[in-house]
Amino acid sequence: MDDVAALGGLGGADGLEAVLDGLGVAGRARQLGDQDADAAVAQIKPLGADLVYFGGMAAEGSLIIKQIRRDGMIALFMSGDGLFDAKDYIEASGGAAEGTYITYAKTPQGA
């Protein structure tokens, strides 16, 4: 899943998709700045995904993880540092972000 409007989101999702395609893993949904993630999650849920990778930013990521959890999906959720934002991702998700895996290229200040 990627947010094609997000700077850097598409590149991360494209790279992961290339690796996964080589392994025979299917599925990609695009989140195009919608205010909800119903359509994207509806594409992913029937696949029974073990992991959803999102390439995008925090505000959109919080919408997606909330919808994933609301729909009863237990898939792991992973993203790049676009979700590394306490207010726009962690707080905005209302607890749905718990357990999210976020890759980050450097140690955050204060860590």
Average pLDDT over residues 87-95: 94
Strand partners, 52: 77
pLDDT digits (tens, 9 = 90+) for 9-42: 555 566 767 777 777 666 566 555 667 788 888 8
Q: Decide: residue 19, CB within 10 A, 0-12 exposed, 13-18 middle, 19+ buried.
A: exposed
d(CA 4, CA 94): 24
**Which one-letter amino acid corresponds to residue 93?**
S
Query: For residue 51, what is the enclosing H or E element?
Result: strand 51-54
Higher pLDDT, 25 or 49: 49
Report the 10 Å Cβ neighbour count for 12. Answer: 20
pLDDT at 8: 47
> Nearest-CA neighbor of 84 among 64, 110, 68, 61?
61
Q: How far, in Å, CA of 42 to CA of 64, rounded?
A: 11
